[in-house]
Amino acid sequence: MSTLRLILGDQLSDSISSLDGCDSSRDIILMCEVWNEATYVKHHKKKIAFLFSAMRHFAEELMRQNYKLEYTKIDDEENAGSFQGEIERILKKHDIKRLVVTYPGEYRVLQDMLQWQLAFGLPVEIRADDRFLCSLEDFEAWSKGRKQLRMEYFYREMRRKYDILMQQSEPVGGQWNYDTENRKPPKTRLKVPPPFMGQIDSITQEVMHAVAERFNNHFGDLEPFYFAVTREDALKVLNLFIKERLASFGDYQDAMIEGEPWMYHSHISFYLNCGLLLPLECARAAEAAYLSGKAPLNAVEGFIRQIIGWREYVRGIYWLKMPDYAQKNFFEVTRPLPEFFWTSKTQMNCLHQCISETIQHAYAHHIQRLMVLGNFALLAGIDPKYVNEWFLIVYADAYEWVELPNVSGMVLFADGGYLASKPYAAGGSYINKMSDYCKHCSYKVSKKNGPDACPFNYLYWDFLDRNREKLRSNHRISIMYKTFDRMNDEKKNAIRDDSLRFLNCIE
């Protein structure tokens, strides 16, 4: 009698808790590429290829370490198409006494797992995912009694707990957060280093073939494919970032340049979220770069905050608030997603650039997601369920635990302010300041109204006007209402008319 240990596609870490205590001479490890996971939303082709290839490489590594492995490929004839179906097949083939899994990244998968014990008539042990730095119990304890959760306070606790960038009990440099230094607009001739370009080996080649055949109607470009698919290569991505990009990460964290999708970001979210990299090793690598004088504090602190702060914080909120969080719609909006989110065909150059890059790379950096794509969805009043589905589909780092709080909480304010203290709404001048997109746009960012005015300009005021009842008590927004109220009626009507015309048009 042996134990069956299921490893999911985003659990590709040697240290995954489902392997703890594994008897490699008897226990069976199951990994399976299943139709249900690849299609419950129609993931970007590159995301599926990346994950299947990373899974196959990880499986090879486990076999090299003499584990007994059952691996089902997407095109295996007997593939049952779901985790449950695949487990049933293994139970028929082997003498299994219990099933061990690690806590999944999505609520829907947890619900599935919770009924396996009954379905299979076996003990099922669901172990904590200790690759995260804050356990779900610790997050819940931290959140107790707080009406609003603020990332900054959570982050400080994580700095103390892991003794990162600390001098005894004080933050290195005397400040916890150097964000005010991290908002430099792009310079015209920045020399952004090239990103990591992984080689396509025979495993990736075979996966790409299967994806092209089976998922051809999914969003996005499959080729060129250059992601790392092994831990060894993912470590190279991390090291390249530390060496070539980290020093400028802070300065240009919010900057956007046409034709430069990768900027000075790390591009490690794909690998962190599927387990090829671990959060603490990334944070420690950045800390070491600061301590050896290779990168300035504003860059290093900013990067570490994203990983030990934001990443852990959104996961905590997800598990604390699910399943209700997925239904949140504070502004009660119902507009469908405009077609151009799938095609990139729009005259608005900022959206065109960010969507085209998403189609090509299954990647956009944070400010593109937040201040261009997300900001537009917020101002246009697009229903959170469509916006969430889009973000879950299009990015290779997207799993619901991280995607949903970012979209519903940070971008759409759909939770009414539980995660963010105010909506991140902005007009065209923000995008113009932080990018060069407006230079090549059909609309004029300097114009506030009329057919050739930048739509962000009037949509911004129309959004505030439409949602006055819901936002008036938010003191961080009240100054904007004072400005709106000082406008004359002609101006206010122009804002409403332009917005109505534009929004009718995108439908």
- Residue type for 206, please? E
Q: How far is the CB of 445 from ligand SF4 (least distance, A)?
A: 4
Task: Give 104 or 186: the residue with its C-beta nearer to ligand DLZ.
Answer: 104
| Matching residue, tokens 């025979």 | 202
Q: Choosing among ligand DLZ, ligand FAD, ligand SF4, none, which partner's interface includes residue 321 (Cβ < 5 to 8 Å by kind)?
A: none
Burial 362-399 (b: 16+ CB within 10 A, else e): bbbbbbbbbbbbbbbbbbbbbbbbbbbbbbbbbbbbbb
Task: Give 370 or 453: the residue with its C-beta nearer to ligand FAD.
Answer: 370
Q: 3-state class of 61 per DSSP?
A: helix
196 binds ligand FAD (CB under 6 A): no
Contact assessment for residue 396 and residue 270, using Cβ atoms and an 8 Å cutoff: yes
Contact assessment for residue 95 and residue 2, using Cβ atoms and an 8 Å cutoff: yes
| Matching residue, tokens 């889009």 | 390
Q: Choosing among ligand FAD, ligand SF4, ligand DLZ, none, which partner's interface includes residue 437 (Cβ < 5 to 8 Å by kind)?
A: ligand SF4
Q: Choosing among ligand FAD, ligand DLZ, ligand SF4, none, which partner's interface includes residue 307 (Cβ < 5 to 8 Å by kind)?
A: ligand FAD
Token readout for 321 is 């608030």
Calpha distance 89→68 (Å, rounded): 16
∠391-397-399 over CA atoms, to 5°? 65
Task: Give 45 or 448: the residue with its C-beta nearer to ligand FAD.
Answer: 45
Task: Give 4 or 438: the residue with its C-beta nearer to ligand SF4.
Answer: 438
Q: How far is the CB of 439 from ligand FAD (least distance, A)?
A: 24
Contact assessment for residue 238 and residue 268, using Cβ atoms and an 8 Å cutoff: yes
264 binds ligand SF4 (CB under 6 A): no
Q: Choosing among ligand FAD, ligand SF4, ligand DLZ, none, which partner's interface includes residue 409 (Cβ < 5 to 8 Å by kind)?
A: none
408 binds ligand FAD (CB under 6 A): no
Q: How far is CA 175 from the centre of its chain?
A: 27
Q: Choosing among ligand DLZ, ligand FAD, ligand SF4, none, which partner's interface includes residue 383 (Cβ < 5 to 8 Å by kind)?
A: none
Contact assessment for residue 98 and residue 3, using Cβ atoms and an 8 Å cutoff: yes
Q: How many CB atoms lie within 10 A of CB 18?
A: 23
Instruction: Give residues with Cβ within 8 angstroms of 390, minimum separation 6.
Output: 337, 341
Strand runs labelled E in 114-174: 124-127, 166-167, 170-171
| Of 113, 164, 286, 348, the one binding ligand SF4 by CB under 6 A | 348
Q: How far is the CB of 89 from ligand FAD (least distance, A)?
A: 31
449 binds ligand SF4 (CB under 6 A): no
CA distances (Å), origin 328, targets 143, 147, 310, 315, 476: 19, 17, 20, 17, 22
Task: Give 97 or 440: the residue with its C-beta nearer to ligand SF4.
Answer: 440
Task: Give 248 or 353: the residue with its C-beta nearer to ligand SF4.
Answer: 353
Calpha distance 463→468 (Å, rounded): 8
| Matching residue, tokens 């004839």 | 77
266 binds ligand FAD (CB under 6 A): yes
Token readout for 351 is 């959206």
| Of 403, 415, 436, 498, the one binding ligand FAD by CB under 6 A | 403
| Of 456, 458, 460, 461, the one binding ligand SF4 by CB under 6 A | 456
Q: Choosing among ligand DLZ, ligand SF4, ligand FAD, none, which partner's interface includes residue 283 (Cβ < 5 to 8 Å by kind)?
A: none
Calpha distance 175→171 (Å, rounded): 6
Eight-class DSSP state of 335: B
Q: How far is the CB of 497 from ligand FAD (least distance, A)?
A: 30
Q: How far is the CB of 272 from ligand FAD (least distance, A)?
A: 5
Task: Give 227 or 303: the residue with its C-beta nearer to ligand FAD.
Answer: 303
Q: How many CB atoms lie within 10 A of CB 76?
A: 12
Q: Choosing among ligand DLZ, ligand SF4, ligand FAD, none, which partner's interface includes residue 109 (Cβ < 5 to 8 Å by kind)?
A: ligand DLZ
Token readout for 411 is 């971008």
Q: What share of the chain is helix, strand, coil (3-state, %, to 5)?
A: 55, 5, 40
| Matching residue, tokens 């046409």 | 258
- Of the candidate spans 131-139, 220-228, 409-417, 448-456, the one that interacts with ligand SF4 by CB under 6 A turns out to be 448-456
Task: Give 9 or 381: the residue with its C-beta nearer to ligand DLZ.
Answer: 9
> Per-residue x/- mask for ligand FAD, residues 287 to 326, rule CB under 6 A?
----------------x--xx--xx--x------------
Residues that bind ligand FAD (CB under 6 A): 265-269, 272-273, 303, 306-307, 310-311, 314, 365-366, 369-370, 374, 391, 395, 397-398, 402-403, 406-407, 410-411
Residues that bind ligand SF4 (CB under 6 A): 348-350, 428, 431-432, 437-438, 441, 443, 445, 454-456
